[in-house]
Structure 1
């Protein structure tokens, strides 16, 4: 796994220096996914280590990830599930280019059996994912993080961890307002990794 992860991280570092097209403000999620199919947009290295540690500690039977991209964050989650000896990761991605790449990367790392990669709109692909969900990672389009959480909320296990990446982005404000409101049923704290991660426990 480490060899694959190191290769992907090196490629992602190079990708940061390349110009990428900017989607129009009114572009759909699919249009954004197609336009940025070559952009890695990975979780940070410290964020990945945190995901691995939390998954090892929580030992969830089911992990759900919104936003696979090239599978860097998925590798951390799948590796933790495999090292736990139990559990499964369900991840979803809108870009067919990235779905194919993520599946290949997971296969190269020997982790395909630990992961199901779904292709398509998360609000459709995750609609029938069964619970209980012990850990949820939200790292897709930021304006969809709250709708995806609300979609899956009734399938979260008591004490489930919900982790959102890039919470410093202005488009994450509605999500943060929701999980930080005690009436929503979460205990929530921001963790200081690159661009911020919000870690919320379903109380």
Structure 2
């Protein structure tokens, strides 16, 4: 019997390996752009953060990527929505699972035009571009055009926007749908965590201890 795993495709594996290597410089690059900030300046907008961090990968971890690959394989969603493409590391894990399922699509969102262009080049190079649509711009605007139900959600963009994005998508999220958020250790994600951990809001939520933690919430 032959088993299919697109993560083992040489093009996909090479692209992920190269991006993870480049992401090792994220901390230094983040410190560099933060050091350029004028002391006492007003807080940066999401657009300003995005522009300043245009070369910062901010990736999901490799183990986190393997987890979402397995979840998508198991759930077999028709439509996967991702908040926060960045350079496309997590998107490749999602699209690989969709391809191996033989059905579905990935709708991803990204504010940075620089990152969108880079990610789309990668998707084309590894042969997964036909499965992925990247919506460039503010997710709270671009996702309003989304048609049909949402069957799997990955939230890995700006943490303070994860809850607004989830609330925007909720009318399209059916019972049984999984919603995954990365980096549970970040304080800026706490409002989101408080929401999905409160059963009255319609979720059963569990923290999965992979790298910086992933919150896996099932819509009730």
Normalising to structure 2: TM-score of the pair? 0.89
CA offset digits 1:3-43 (Å, max 9, x no partner)? 11111111112334444423767211111100100000000
CA–CA distance in structure 1, aligned partners of residues 70 and 118 of structure 2: 25
Contact 1:20 1:39 in 2 (8 A): no
Instruction: After the TM superposition, list the runs of 4 or more consecutive aligned residues in structure 1 that deviate by more than 4 angstroms.
Output: none
**Which among 59, 72, 75 is matched to residue 42 of structure 1?**
59
1:98 matched to 2:121? The reply is no
Alpha-carbon spacing, 1:176–1:15, altered in 2? closer, same or farther (3 Å)? closer
What is the CA distance between 1:68 and its match in structure 2? 0.3
For structure 1, the residue ranges without an aligned partner over 5 or more in a row are: none
User: After superposition, where does 1:1-203 map in structure 2 within 5 Å?
Assistant: 1-18=12-29, 19-22=31-34, 26-203=43-220
CA–CA distance in structure 2, aligned partners of residues 25 and 144 of structure 1: 19
What is the CA distance between 1:157 and its match in structure 2? 2.3
Select between 17-26 and 167-176 the one with higher mean Cα deviation: 17-26
Larger Cα-atom Rg: 2
For structure 2, the residue ranges without an aligned partner over 5 or more in a row are: 1-11
CA–CA distance in structure 1, aligned partners of residues 152 and 186 of structure 2: 22
SS in 2 for 1:157: strand
SS in 2 for 1:21: helix
CA–CA distance in structure 2, aligned partners of residues 120 and 61 of structure 1: 23
Task: Please give the root-mean-square deviation of Cα atoms over the aligned residues, in Å.
Answer: 1.3
Contact 1:131 1:157 in 2 (8 A): no
CA offset digits 1:67-120 (Å, max 9, x no partner)? 000000000000000110000000000000000011011111100001001100
| Counterpart for residue 5 of structure 2 | none
CA offset digits 1:53-79 (Å, max 9, x no partner)? 000000000000000000000000000
Alpha-carbon spacing, 1:62–1:26, altered in 2? closer, same or farther (3 Å)? same
